[in-house]
Chain A
Amino acid sequence: MSRVHDMGGRFGDGPVMPDSPDAPIFATDWHARALAVTLACGALGKWNIDISRHARERLSPKDYTRFSYYEKWISALADLLVETGVLTREDLEGKDDAGVHALASKALKAEAVAAVLAKGGPANRDSAIATSFAPGDRVKTRHPGGSALVDGGHTRLPGYATGACGEILLQHGAHVLPDSNAHGLGESPEPLYAVVFKASELWAHPEHPNDEVVLDLWQSYLEAEA
């Protein structure tokens, strides 16, 4: 029930390769274009950040694994553009009629870029759902994991942290629930917490007895520890 992107704790990936101090921000020009095209298309307003993340996650495991980072972005973007009806497969094949698109008025203009990037897209919302936990409370994460709303759907509860006991560290207020928002089921905001887990609660062979992992988890991912 997990997807290939959910790789926290996985074995076998080898060393992390730090970059050199003078490494360019974009390794090649097309990386920069891929990022910019993706951000610019977001301005068309046909999807939200959770839909966009989920589009990358549901690339086939074979594609997800063999694609480089920005290949995932650009491929998921092409998929989203077709799924949301902005483009057709014929358009992607170059058989488009070259007419101006109905959404063209929404295209991000150069003079608006600075303001759009500076404005951001905050995820906090008012919520009718009362806060169930306070810092110091003991909680347990849902098990089995995965999306409770859609089978195989988007969730931000990583597989390595399902069924684990931890402690509420911070309250972040109420935030949009990605599990819902990624599937067009509404923002469904609910309380969000930083929850701290002992490394020994998550891993068979933790490196150090005092090490910890903190995850941001929504209230519906949590129950009070029995």
Chain B
Amino acid sequence: MPHDHSDHPHAVLPSDPALRVKALETILTRKGLIDPAALDEIIDTYQNKIGPQNGARVVARAWSDPAFKAALLADADPVLAELGYYGRQGEHMVVVENTPTQHNMVVCTLCSCYPWPLLGIPPGWYKSDAYRARAVREPRGVLADFGVSLPAETAVRVWDSTAEVRYLVLPMRPAGSEDLDEDALADLVSRDSMIGTALASKPDEGALT
């Protein structure tokens, strides 16, 4: 067994997780190995700058612009890079399109791989044992947990993110959204609809999450 220890070094730190983080941060800061201001900057980035609003803009544009959508589905990386949506945990993007006959859903059964530049930090449920364990075996059961029920003619394709490729679901454009501009369309695109555990909202519903 490689690097298996009966006495992992982490056990030396306080067992309370908040104190464990604090202890490690204090030690590393004292030695000059981390800069607390850099930590603040990382947190601010994912709390305030990078999040599902990025992905929603991409989806809204794909709904509005057929040439953009075709390019996005054919080879997402250059299209997204041009919009500035490139970076850590989004280096190799594939966008998969929902249709009346195929619904796509994304999971990472082995850890928590997720397209950070487009969706930010994954929600707790995406990282939960229940989602990781069940999404591949019973996606329809998981969708029911989200209040989503698919018709029998719609097949489910679950993407298990086992490599550094990250997947974004392009949800179906909802009925009644024909007259909306890109900004209004983006409001219909929830985070979960781009993971595949929700559908895009209808114009009279507004986005949920």
Contacts and interface: CB of A to CB of B under 8 A. Distances in A.
B180 interface: no
B17 A74 contact: yes
B208 A75 contact: no
A49 B88 CA distance: 11
A98 interface: yes
| A5, A49, A56, A120, most chain B CB atoms within 10 A | A120
A196 B90 CA distance: 22
Contacts of A148: none
Nearest to B159: A214
Contacts of B128: 13, 16-17
A87 B107 CA distance: 34
B40 A16 contact: no
A26 B38 contact: no
Nearest to A76: B10
Interface string B65-105: 00000000000000000000011111110100000000000
B28 A122 contact: no
B37 A120 contact: no
Contacts of B176: none
Contacts of B165: 172, 192, 194, 216
Contacts of A113: 38, 41-42, 45
A86 interface: yes
Given A71-B20, A207-B140, A158 B32 contact: no
A58 B107 CA distance: 21
B136 A202 contact: yes
Interface in A168-195: 170, 172, 175-176, 178, 183, 192, 194
B47 interface: yes
Given A196-B157, A208-B155, 14 more contacts: A8-B133, A18-B146, A20-B209, A30-B17, A37-B34, A53-B111, A71-B17, A82-B9, A89-B12, A92-B9, A118-B86, A212-B158, A214-B160, A217-B163
